[in-house]
């Protein structure tokens, strides 16, 4: 059996920036969304013949 990629058996880690408090897990998800969004703009899309 493979162990979990991230050990969840401990309290979560949090980032603090003034009044902003953000869990590391949520920060990673937001970062992943930004990366995917940037890639979606940059990577060319293979055009289909069904376009006009």
Q: Binding residues for other proteins, per CB under 8 A?
A: 29, 32-33, 36-37, 39-41, 43, 45-48, 50-52
21 or 48: CB nearest other proteins: 48
18 or 44: CB nearest other proteins: 44
5 or 39: CB nearest other proteins: 39
Cβ atoms of 14 and 22 closer than 8 Å: yes
Dist CA 1 CA 50 (whole Å): 46
If phi > 0 it is left, if psi is from -120 to 50 it is alpha, else beta; for residue 37 that is: alpha
């Amino acid at each position: 059996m493979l162990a979990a990629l991230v050990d969840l058996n401990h309290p979560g880690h949090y980032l603090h920036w003034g009044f902003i408090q953000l869990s590391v897990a949520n920060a990673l998800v937001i970062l992943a969304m930004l990366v995917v969004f940037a890639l979606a703009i940059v990577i060319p899309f293979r055009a289909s013949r069904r376009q006009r």
